[in-house]
Amino acid sequence: MSVQQRTSEGGEALEVWIDQDLCTGDGICAQYAPEVFELDIDGLAYVRGPGGELLQDRGAVTPVPLPLVTDVVDSARECPGECIHVRRVSDRTELYGPGAG
Q: What CATH number should be reported for the domain holding residue 35? A: 3.30.70.20
- How many domains does the chain divide into? 1
Which are the contacts of 38, defined by CB distance < 8 A and separation ≥ 6? 30, 45, 46, 48, 54
Inside any domain, residue 65: yes
Q: Which residues of the chain have pLDDT under 50?
A: 1-8
Using CA atoms, how far apart are residues 93 and 101, in angstroms rounded to an integer?
A: 9
Neighbours of 39 (CB within 10 A): 17
pLDDT reported for residue 10? 61
pLDDT reported for residue 85? 97
Inside any domain, residue 70: yes
Q: What is the pLDDT of residues 75-89, one digit of tens each?
A: 999 999 999 999 999
